[in-house]
Amino acid sequence: MTDLRTTLAGVEFPNPVFTASGCAAAGQELDGFFDVTALGGVVTKSIMLAARSGRATPRMAETPSGMLNSIGLQGPGIEAFLEHELAWLADRGARAVVSIAGGSVEDYARLAQKLRGRPGLAMVEVNISCPNVEDRGQVFACDPRAAAGVVEAVRKATAPGVPVFAKLSPDVTDIAAVARACVAAGADGLSVINTLLGMVIDVDRMRPVLGGVTGGLSGPAIRPVAVRCVWQVHAALPDVPILGMGGIRTGLDALEFVLAGASAVSVGTTVFGDPTAPVRVLAELHQALQERGFDHVRDAVGLAHRPPEAYLPERPDPVGDDQGSTA
């Protein structure tokens, strides 16, 4: 049996499959389909200081192999979140990764302060890359200095021992530069990636489909972009843990992210069609690792970066592809 335990910045999780922020609220709805404590962790929808109704409707559109969303950070605000959602996750025994979002460095710092000492809090994900904000100046992850300012404030306000992960945007020229700036500012790890900015136009109405005009593209359509980003960030910062996400639908998709350098993965958009996807992906990933002879998932992290002649585990059985055993 492959050991699935994974460690992110000193915190151990029982396995490397998490929900993705924004795709499962705070886990209650998914818990009707499977036991959310079976996952490595539950990453909650980004929360802001105040309640927020979000952008104009329509807020979602299907795209080829993907989905556009223009939610606009709808949420109950931090106080209601702490009382009803984080408290529920803690009671349930889930490991909560709380995603926070703000319009200023000060907002983020206050959110981090409010999370200090809360039961159930395993990690903080700093969402500096939401594409659906009022202006692009608020997409802190598009500028290394702006990203660093937020990360530094959150790291200072967060209890020691609680990892702070910065969530990066793919909509940049050099994602490794932003990653380096976040880590230099104190990020313990990186979540890679948020959605890509996109839009669709209704050719009958001859107007944008989304009320917010532009939206964030997710789903399998973005997976190669996400894998490339994980690869580049891991190549630049091989010792920094990565939570990888973007279009994961199967265990083999998850394995791609692990081989590119992710120590854990988030399963997002696919849950809208298949709410049990996270536990299925976990089982499939486990099987894929076992078939490839891995004793521990950590041995697969970043393996694709190694030269072809480097160590590969002995495969116990052929996995049904053309290459058969690598032994």
Query: What is the set of active-site residues?
Result: 130
Question: Closest CB to ligand RRO belongs to which residue?
Answer: 216
Residue 229 engages ligand RRO in binding (rule: CB under 6 A)? no
Residue 297 engages ligand RRO in binding (rule: CB under 6 A)? no
Taking CB under 6 A as the criterion, the residue among 195, 263, 269, 270 binding ligand RRO is 195
Residue 144 engages ligand RRO in binding (rule: CB under 6 A)? no
Taking CB under 6 A as the criterion, the residue among 127, 158, 263, 270 binding ligand RRO is 127
Site for ligand RRO in 248-267 (CB under 6 A): none
Which span sits near ligand RRO by CB under 6 A: 129-137, 248-256, 259-267, 295-303? 129-137
Q: Find the Cα–Cα–Cα–Cα dihedral 73, 78, 83, 84, rounded to 10°.
A: 0
Helix boundaries (H) for 95-185: 105-115, 144-157, 175-184
Taking CB under 6 A as the criterion, the residue among 27, 144, 149, 216 binding ligand RRO is 216
CB of 169 to ligand RRO, least distance (A): 9
What's the CA gap between 9 and 7, in Å, rounded?
6
Mask 46-85, x = binds ligand RRO (CB under 6 A)?
Answer: x----------------------x-xxx------------
Nearest to 150 by CA among 127, 123, 130, 173: 127
- In sequence order, which residues have a C-beta less than 8 Å from that of residue 198 and are 6 or more positions away? 63, 68, 214, 215, 216, 217
Query: Between residues 4 and 175, which has the closer beta carbon with respect to ligand RRO?
Result: 175
Amino acid, single-letter form, for residue 224: P
Site size for ligand RRO, by CB under 6 A? Answer: 14
CB of 127 to ligand RRO, least distance (A): 5
What's the CA gap between 258 and 262, in Å, rounded?
4
Query: Between residues 222 and 279, which has the closer beta carbon with respect to ligand RRO?
Result: 222
Query: Between residues 125 and 299, which has the closer beta carbon with respect to ligand RRO?
Result: 125
Residue 109 CA from chain centroid, whole number:
21
Nearest to 22 by CA among 216, 166, 264: 216
- In sequence order, which residues have a C-beta less than 8 Å from that of residue 138 and are 6 or more positions away? 103, 130
**DSSP symbols for 179-231:** HHHHHHTT-SEEEE--PEEE--EETTTTEESSTTS-EEEESGGGHHHHHHHHH
Residue 226 engages ligand RRO in binding (rule: CB under 6 A)? no
Query: Between residues 76 and 302, which has the closer beta carbon with respect to ligand RRO?
Result: 76
Taking CB under 6 A as the criterion, the residue among 4, 101, 168, 185 binding ligand RRO is 101
The SS3 of residue 69 is strand
Taking CB under 6 A as the criterion, the residue among 15, 44, 158, 194 binding ligand RRO is 194
Q: What are phi and psi of 264, to 5 degrees?
A: -160, 165
CB of 74 to ligand RRO, least distance (A): 6
Q: What are phi and psi of 299, to 5 degrees?
A: -70, -20
What's the CA gap between 112 and 210, in Å, rounded?
32
Mask 6-35, x = binds ligand RRO (CB under 6 A)?
Answer: ----------------x-------------
Interaction site with ligand RRO (CB under 6 A): 22, 46, 69, 71-73, 101, 127, 130-132, 194-195, 216
